[in-house]
Chains A and B, each alone.
Chain A
Amino acid sequence: EVQLVESGGGLVQPGGSLRLSCAASGFTFSNYWMNWARHTPGKGLEWLANIKQDGSQSYYVDSVKGRFTIFRDNAKNSLYLQMNSLRVEDTAVYYCARDLPGISASAPWGQGTLVTVTS
Chain B
Amino acid sequence: EIVMTQSPATLSVSPGERATLSCWASQSVSSKLAWYQLKPGQAPRLLIYGTSTRATGIPARFSGSGSGTEFTLTISSLQSEDSAVYYCQQYKEWPRTFGPGTRVEVK
Q: Which residues of A line the B interface, CB within 8 A?
A: 4, 37, 39, 44-47, 59-62, 95, 97, 100, 103-112
Contact = CB atoms under 8 A, between A and B. Distances in A.
Nearest to A65: B95
A47 B96 contact: yes
B91 A109 contact: no
Interface string B72-92: 000000000000010101010
Nearest to B48: A105
Nearest to B6: A44
A109 B89 contact: no
Among A97, A105, A107, the most chain B Cβ lie within 10 Å of the Cβ of: A105
A105 B87 contact: no
Contact of A95 (B43, B50, B55, B87): B43
B94 A103 contact: no
B49 interface: yes
Contacts, number: 64
Contacts of B94: 59
B97 interface: yes
Given A44-B101, A45-B36, A104-B32, A112 B43 contact: yes
Contact of B98 (A44, A62, A100, A109): A44
A45 B43 contact: no
A104 B96 contact: yes
Interface string B36-57: 1010011111100110000110
